[in-house]
Amino acid sequence: MEHFDFIEMKLPAKPEYVGVIRLSVSGIANRMGFTYEDIEDLKVAISEAMTNATTHAYDENEGGEVTVGFGLYRDRLEVMVADHGGSFNLSEVKQETGPYQQSEPIENLREGGFGLFLIDALMDKVEIKSDYGVIVLMTKNLPTNEVGIDDDQISTSQ
Amino acid sequence: MNINLSIDVATTDNQTTLTIKGEIDAYTAPLLKEKLLPATAKEAEKIVVDLKDVTYMDSTGLGVFISALKSTKEHGSTLTLVNLQERVHRLFKITSLDSIISIDTTTRGGE
C-alpha cells in the first residue's frame, strides 16, 4: 500500500479559523517542497472549502466543527475538508459557480459564487461528496523532476 | 505574517482612498465591506482601493468588490483597484472579473 503521513485538525466552524487553516496548509506544503505559486493556490482552495463549511454552519445557526485532513504522499497532497452539518444543497452551490460571462448583467452577479469555481481552477483534482454533510476532497500534485520515458528531448549519449 | 486586516480611509474632494493591509478572507471581508460600501453610496464619488499590502485574498474579497461595483452603478460613483500583487490580480483574471472591475495595472504591489 502506498505510504502516506496523515494530519487531522478539528476546528470550530467559524470564519476566524479560516486564516489558521491557511497557515497550516502553508506549513505542510512548504515542508513537502511545493513551489511558492502552488502553496498560494493551496491556501486559496483550502480557505474556500473552509469558508463554505463555516458559512453553512452559520446559516444553520449551529456551533459545528469542521474536520480537515491532510494526506501527505510522495507525489501529492490530498486535503479533505468535511463539514458534518445538516443539509446542504450541493446542486444549488454548483449552479452558482463559474467565471463571469461578458453577456451577464452586473446586477445578476452573485457575491458568493466563485468559491467552488476557484477550488476547481486551482487544484489538480476535486471531488465533492454530500452523503452526510459535505466533504470536499482535493489533490495538488507535486511538480515532478523526472524525465518521462517518452521524452526524447534530452540526449544522454556520451 | 499577519492574517488580520487593517484599513485606512482618506477622504478629499469627491475622492475616497482606502489603503488596505493584510489578508482578505471570510473573517476580515465584512470589515472591508463596512468601510468600502458607504463610500460607493456617495454620488459621483471616486473610490480608489490600494491593495499594495494585501498579501492574500479569496472569493470573499471578490464578493465585496462585486457588491461595491453594483453600488457604484446605482449611485453614479466609480471604483478603481490599484497596486495589486500578482497573486491577487490573478484571482480577478481567473474569474474574468477583471473585465468589469477597473484595475489599474500600471503599478504593482508587493515588490
Average pLDDT of chain A to the nearest whole number: 82
- Label residue B20 exposed, middle or buried (CB < 10 Å: 0-12, 13-18, 19+): buried
B window 15-74, beta carbon within 8 A of A: 23, 25-27, 56, 58-60, 62-64, 66-67, 69-70, 73
Nearest to A19 among B25, B67, B95 (CB): B25
Could you tell me which of A137, A104, A98 has the C-alpha nearest to residue A117? A98
Q: Mutate which of A114, A117, A123 to test chain B, going by most B C-beta atoms within 10 A? A: A114
What is the C-alpha to C-alpha distance for residues B106 and B82, in angstroms, rounded to an integer? 8
Q: Are strands B78-82 and B102-104 parallel, antiparallel or unpaired?
A: parallel
Classify B101 as helix, strand or coil.
coil
Contacts of A110 in chain B (CB under 8 A): 66
Report the pLDDT value the prediction gives residue A143, as an integer from 0 to 100: 87
DSSP characters over A24-92: HHHHHHHHHT--HHHHHHHHHHHHHHHHHHHHHHHHHT---EEEEEEEE-SSEEEEEEEE--S---HHH
- Residues sharing a CB contact under 8 Å with residue B75, sequence separation 6 or more, in sequence order: B40, B41, B42, B43, B45
Query: Is this model's pTM higher than 0.90 or not?
Result: no
- Report yes or no: B32 and B19 within 8 Å, Cβ to Cβ: no
Nearest to A16 among B27, B67, B87 (CB): B27
Q: Where are chain B's structural domains?
A: 5-104
Task: Out of 3.20.20.70, 3.40.50.300, 2.60.120.1440, 3.30.565.10, select the CATH number for domain A5-141.
Answer: 3.30.565.10
Task: Name which CATH class applies to B5-104.
Answer: alpha beta
Q: Which helix (H) or strand (E) holds A142?
A: none
- Report yes or no: B55 and B89 within 8 Å, Cβ to Cβ: no
Q: What is the rounded average pLDDT of the residues B49-73?
A: 96
Tell me if A51 and B94 make a contact (CB, 8 A cut-off).
no
Least-confidence region, from A49-58, A62-71, A98-107, A128-137? A98-107
Report the pLDDT value the prediction gives residue A31, as an integer from 0 to 100: 96
Could you tell me the pLDDT band of residue A99, with boundaries at 50, 70 and 90? low
Distances (CA, A) of A116 to A17, A38, A97: 19, 18, 6
Q: Where are chain A's structural domains?
A: 5-141
Instruction: Name the minimum distance, in Å, from the CA of A147 to any CA of chain B.
Output: 29
Q: Tell me: the pLDDT tens digits for B1-22?
A: 678 999 999 999 999 999 999 9
Report the pLDDT value the prediction gives residue A105, as an integer from 0 to 100: 73
Q: Is A107 on the interface with B (CB under 8 A)?
A: yes
Cα angle A39, A43, A48; round to 5:
150
